[in-house]
Amino acid sequence: MHSGHAAGGGRPPALAHHFDDLEQQKEASTLGMWIFLVTEVMFFGGMFTGYAVYRALYHEAFMAASDHLDLKLGGINTVVLILSSFTMAMAVHAAQTSKRKAIINWLVLTIILGSVFLGIKYVEYGDKFHHHLVPGPHFEFAGAHAQHAQLFFSFYFAMTGFHALHMVIGIGLLLWIIALAARGRFSAEYYNPVENMGLYWHFVDIIWIFLFPLLYLVGHHK
Amino acid sequence: MTDHQHHVVPVKVYIAILIALLVGTAATVWAARVDLGAMNIAVALAIAIAKATLVVLFFMHLKYSEKLTWVFAAAGVFWLAVLIGITFSDYITRF
């Protein structure tokens, strides 16, 4: 039988009217976020597929273009995001163990790491702009495959751009979750928003886990 | 109904996964510097898939989640495979 985990016998305050108990509510909540993430897989999946087709068709050009990406910065960003997934997981852990201050601290660390990532992307984008590698009328590329190299950079900006947009939205959501945590809304009994925030954040990390080798490591950076 | 929705993953598991992810990142960069020809992309993707699997199972708690959640996660993988697979079945058969 479902139990409501109610403190005191009545319906717990965190239990919405249309659910039988907190267990069921959590299952529905988590499943809902997973379903949304599946739509996101298809969203990014389309771009990955397009990238894969053109990389197969114009491999030389994509290799030459990829050499213009800063492998060090890309690598640092990968480490930064992996660390941010760790801090996010710790925030959920803190919520599960009803440690209010720890929730906030870990979420703040996650925001800091996410901001470092965006700062580095800003530097990278600025560098691309400076070197005329932004697709459009000012694009310049030395070598035989200028048009195909421009295609690489179209994918680079579209994919890392949408990823960065997801990071910005994620940071906004993190700020909101921190505000809720500060008001004492989360505990072992109810922490669904923190869990779902984690699912979203880990998903964005996974996208980068694929973006990094596929965009930055096309050729053999010697 | 069991309580495993509230399964609290031990911190040392998270730390182990973190280390594995960092090692995987180093391996990806190292493997890219070695000329494996056509295998380079396969190795890079294999490592990325392994890392993503760790994130999904442990950080995203899929290992401790309801079977219905597994169904939807698997559906995501399946439909992505369909998207990539059928698109490529077109391109690689063009001559």
Q: Give me the torsion for CA of B82, A43, A138, A152, rounded to 10°.
A: -30
A95 neighbors A103 (Cβ within 8 angstroms): yes
Compare all CA atoms of chain B with the CA of A29 and give the residue at the minimum distance. B69
What band does B2 get if pLDDT is binned at 50, 70 and 90? very low
Q: Where are the domains of chain A?
A: 22-216
Give this complex's ipTM: 0.93
Q: Which residues contact A216 (CB under 8 A, 6 or more apart)?
A: A66, A69, A71, A74, A75
User: What is the three-class DSSP state of A93?
Assistant: helix
Compare all CA atoms of chain A with the CA of B36 and give the residue at the minimum distance. A220
Q: What's the CATH architecture for A22-216? A: Up-down Bundle (1.20)
Closest to A93 measured CA to CA, from B52, B6, B19:
B6
Residue A4: how many other CB atoms lie within 10 Å = 18
What band does B37 get if pLDDT is binned at 50, 70 and 90? confident
- State percent of chain B over pLDDT 70: 95
**Dihedrals φ, ψ of A187, to 5°?**
-160, 180
Q: Per the CB < 8 Å rule, is B60 touching A210?
A: no
* Contacts A–B by Cβ distance under 8 A: 129
Predicted confidence (pLDDT) per residue in B44-80, tens digit: 999 999 999 999 999 999 999 999 999 999 999 999 9
Q: Per the CB < 8 Å rule, is B91 touching A56?
A: yes
The structure's pTM equals: 0.93
A52 neighbors A89 (Cβ within 8 angstroms): no
A48 neighbors B45 (Cβ within 8 angstroms): no
Closest to A55 measured CA to CA, from A39, A69, A43, A66:
A66
